[in-house]
């Protein structure tokens, strides 16, 4: 799928924030929105991800911060507030598994690390950006959940899967609460998408088996996540859709 297929100007002049936009799904989505005319404020990742800056041109800004920390969330929110008069689209994409940890080795520290990044940062960033989302008049929040929120994930991923389960439920709850403010809240729920994520946490054999068990017989790509995000981001395309979770998983039937 071409990187430029969506260039219709739907997002021209829109203020869009994407977290974890330095690589993978976040980078593909942010690039597509920028190609369509959006002003991108990109959270790239932690400080070492600054090299991943790829959003050139007018109206693009980038911040790096560790979203597992309270300081990192504050720093990101402050940066966004100082660059955006309003936030029309907020995509909470930053997240990761932080290793496969079996239950017998579980620690309070791993629990905190995984949930602080994958759940707490989404809650706090949403809360801090609420005035800017309200200022949009028709904002769209897109959370990035996971198929593991529904399936429980594979061995060693219990904290990550549960944190994504939180995101799916939070999406539905927030959609109802924020609807009167003109803010829609939806999520994408990727299946297995071939990014850095799986280079870290899945073996080649596991990925091959997943592709074979997927009805469409392949893994997903970052680009496969772009069109669903653009659809949910646009009031013109999805203005009556909120509280929904779109599975991007080649037919695995779970969201
Ligand atoms: P990725 O590892 O390429 O990207 C993750 C992004 O999160 C990176 O930009 C990274 O810098 C950022 N990040 C990680 N830890 C961070 C921290 N402590 N502070 C700030 N930023 C941090 O993987 P991806 O596949 O592009 O993942 C994007 C999102 O999709 C994540 O939320 C992930 O959980 C979710 N997801 C991915 C898959 C998949 O199969 N790849 C499946 C379901 C859900």
User: 180 CA to middle of ligand 1, Å?
Assistant: 31
Task: Determine contact, residues 94/121, Cβ cutoff 8 Å.
Answer: yes
Please state, in angstroms and rounded to a whole number, the distance separating the CA atoms of residues 124 and 129.
9
Residue 240 has a CB neighbour count (10 Å cut-off) of 6
pLDDT at 6 over 70: no
**What does the longest C-alpha to C-alpha distance in the chain come to?**
52
The tokens describing 252, both together, are 């695995």
Please state, in angstroms and rounded to a whole number, the distance separating the CA atoms of residues 21 and 52.
8
Nearest atom (ligand 1) to Cα of 147: 43
For residues 183-206, average pLDDT: 95
C-beta pairs of 211-217 under 8 Å, 24+ apart in sequence = 214/249, 214/250, 214/251, 214/252, 215/250, 215/251, 215/252, 216/250, 216/251, 217/250
Q: Please tell me the predicted confidence (pLDDT) of residue 18.
A: 98
* Ligand 1 first shell, C-beta below 6 A: 20, 22-26, 45-46, 49, 66-68, 93-96, 117, 144, 146, 190, 192-193, 195-198
For residues 40-51, average pLDDT: 90
Share of the chain above pLDDT 70, in %: 96
C-beta pairs of 3-8 under 8 Å, 24+ apart in sequence = 3/28, 3/31, 3/32, 3/35, 3/223, 4/35, 6/32, 6/35, 6/36, 6/226, 6/227, 6/230, 7/35, 7/36, 8/36
Collapsing DSSP to helix, strand or coil, 232 comes out as: helix
CATH topology of domain 15-248: Rossmann fold (3.40.50)
User: 97 CA to middle of ligand 1, Å?
Assistant: 8
Among 1-5, 33-37, 71-75, whose mean pLDDT is lowest?
1-5
pLDDT at 214 over 80: yes
User: 27 CA to middle of ligand 1, Å?
Assistant: 10
pLDDT at 3 over 80: no
CA angle, 147 then 253 then 91, to 5°: 40
Q: What is the pLDDT of residues 151-191, one digit of tens each?
A: 999 999 999 999 999 999 999 999 999 999 999 999 999 99
Q: What is the pLDDT of residues 66-116, one digit of tens each?
A: 999 999 999 999 999 999 999 999 999 999 999 999 999 999 999 999 999
Instruction: For the chain, give the mean pLDDT.
Output: 94
Take atom 31 of ligand 1 and give the residue whose Cα is closest.
Answer: 95
The tokens describing 232, both together, are 């949910």
Please state, in angstroms and rounded to a whole number, the distance separating the CA atoms of residues 37 and 68.
31
Name the residue ranges covered by the structural domains of the chain.
15-248
For residues 5-29, average pLDDT: 91
Q: Please tell me the predicted confidence (pLDDT) of residue 2.
A: 53
The yes-or-no answer on residue 164 being catalytic is yes
């Amino acid at each position: 799928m071409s990187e430029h297929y969506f260039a219709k100007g739907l997002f021209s002049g829109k203020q869009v924030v994407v977290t974890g936009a330095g690589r993978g799904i976040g980078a593909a989505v942010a690039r597509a929105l920028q190609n369509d005319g959006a002003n991108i404020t990109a959270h790239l990742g932690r400080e070492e991800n600054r090299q991943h800056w790829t959003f050139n041109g007018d109206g693009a800004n980038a911040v790096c911060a560790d979203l597992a920390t309270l300081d990192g969330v504050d720093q990101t929110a402050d940066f966004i507030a100082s660059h955006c008069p309003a936030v029309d689209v907020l995509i909470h994409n930053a997240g990761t598994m932080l290793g496969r940890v079996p239950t017998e080795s579980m620690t309070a520290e791993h629990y905190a690390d995984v949930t602080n990044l994958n759940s707490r940062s989404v809650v706090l960033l949403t809360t801090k950006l609420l005035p800017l989302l309200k200022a949009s008049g028709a904002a769209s929040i897109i959370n990035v959940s996971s198929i593991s929120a529904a399936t429980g994930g594979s061995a060693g991923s219990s904290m990550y899967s549960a944190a994504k389960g939180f995101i799916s439920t939070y999406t539905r709850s927030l959609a109802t609460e924020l609807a009167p403010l003109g803010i829609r809240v939806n999520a994408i729920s990727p299946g297995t998408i071939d990014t850095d994520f799986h280079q870290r946490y899945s073996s080649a054999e596991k990925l091959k088996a997943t592709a074979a068990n997927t009805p469409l017989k392949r893994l997903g790509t970052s680009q496969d996540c772009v069109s669903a995000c653009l659809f949910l981001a646009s009031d013109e395309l999805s203005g009556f859709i909120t509280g929904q979770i779109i599975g991007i998983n080649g037919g695995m039937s779970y969201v």
